[in-house]
Amino acid sequence: MPELPEVETIRRQLAPVLAGRVLEGVEVLDGRWCEPAAPAEVEDALRGRRIERVGRRGKYLVLELHDDVHLVMHLRMTGNLLLVHAENDDPARQHLRVRMTLDSGKRLLFVDVRRFGTGAVLLGADARHAYFDARLGVEPLSPGFTGDALRALARGRRAPVKSFLLSQERIAGVGNIYADEALFRARIHPLRPVGALRPAQLGALRDAVVATLESGIDSRGATIDDFRHADGARGSFQDRFLVHRREGAPCPVCGRPIKKLRAAGRGTYVCERCQPKPRARRPVPA
């Protein structure tokens, strides 16, 4: 699933091409994309509007349109946004869910094999804020994501640190890849209860999350299976993974084989020498 660096890569690619252009045509070919809104309603709200800015919040991409209209899209498992010339657009293209035609003659296609991707039209900044406030916590590449902020979020929580990192309502945009990589950098085992981490460990985790996401953006995201850039190219962060998907390979720090385990219901990769396991609870004396 695309995470923050993948969506930010798409945003950076689309922004110069889309900003200032008018959406001349919008065709929602798969009603599931915009449920519970009807496709015609979404098409009418978007058609003829100028795109003022391409934004991002967590894993959501936002087209900010004239008159304070916002199209908020989520790629979920297998969604991709592809930019093509109108003359190259095959109308029978497989897995096409939404087609947007720009006044420049280009088209933006939402293509999605598994059809979990979504689009929602929000009218006004208040509606946009309410939508994100209900779903997303702090933006990890914003100035608000400090060591103190992370300590406040973690305080008193017993959840394993990996599931904490994956909770979008606490930290927006971190998914399975970047959580594994950040925990390895911070030398924290994914099953440690987040509220039991020392302040210095949480400070290291904050820095590791930021460094990992920035490194992902530098590599233009990771392509493991479906993720593609708007021009169809692949990201390269998968070539720089330290532990993720490297079961059995030597740890880049100590050489011990990387182990795969399950945390937060996800395949999780660790070096249990660099990331010591949580201590088993002592038996209560009789």
Residues labelled as active-site residues: 2-3, 59, 266
Distances, alpha carbon 14 to alpha carbons 18, 221, 280, in Å: 6, 15, 49
What is the 3-state composition of the chain as percent helix, strand, coil, each rounded to the nearest 5?
30, 25, 45
Which residues in 155-175 are b (16+ Cβ under 10 Å) and which e?
eebebbbbbbbbbeebbbbbb
Q: At residue 221, what are phi and psi to the nearest 5 degrees? A: 80, 175
- Least separation, in Å, of the C-beta of 254 and Zn ion? 3
Binding mask 8-47 for Zn ion (x = CB under 5 A): ----------------------------------------
Least distance from C-beta 256 to Zn ion, angstroms? 5
- Which residues make Cβ contacts (< 8 Å) with residue 134, sequence separation at least 6? none
> If we measure between CA atoms, which residue out of 66, 75, 20, 19 comes closest to residue 47?
66
Q: Which of positions 198-257 make contact with Zn ion (CB under 5 A)?
A: 251, 253-254
Q: Would you say 177 or 251 has its CB closer to Zn ion?
A: 251
Closer to Zn ion by CB, 98 or 271: give it.
271
Report the residue number, 109 or 242, with the smaller CB distance to Zn ion.
242
- CA 165 to CA 190: how far, in whole Å? 9
Q: Which is nearer to Zn ion, 69 or 251 (CB)?
A: 251
String marking each residue 86-125 x if it binds Zn ion according to CB under 5 A: ----------------------------------------
Q: How far is the CB of 108 from Zn ion (least distance, A)?
A: 43
Q: Which residue, among 221, 127, 128, 231, has the nearest Cα to 175 in the 3D structure?
A: 221
Q: Least separation, in Å, of the C-beta of 271 and Zn ion?
A: 3
Record the tokens describing residue 44, joined without a space. Answer: 């009418």
Question: Side chain identity at 185, as an amino acid letter?
Answer: R
Number of residues interacting with Zn ion: please give it, by CB under 5 A.
6
- C-alpha 242/C-alpha 252 separation (Å) is 7
Judged by CB, which is closer to Zn ion: 113, or 253? 253
CA dihedral 279, 197, 191, 186 (to 10 degrees): -110
Structure tokens at 131: 């939508």
Residue 32 to residues 38, 121, 212, 220: CA-CA distances in angstroms?
Answer: 9, 14, 34, 29
Q: How far is the CB of 181 from Zn ion (least distance, A)?
A: 13
Per-residue tokens: 35: 């449920």
Residues 261-280 that bind Zn ion (CB under 5 A): 271, 273-274
Q: Is 188 in the site for Zn ion (CB under 5 A)?
A: no
Q: Smallest distance, Å, CB 51 to Zn ion?
A: 46
- Residue closer to Zn ion by CB (options 152, 249) is 249
- What residue ranges bind Zn ion (CB under 5 A)? 251, 253-254, 271, 273-274
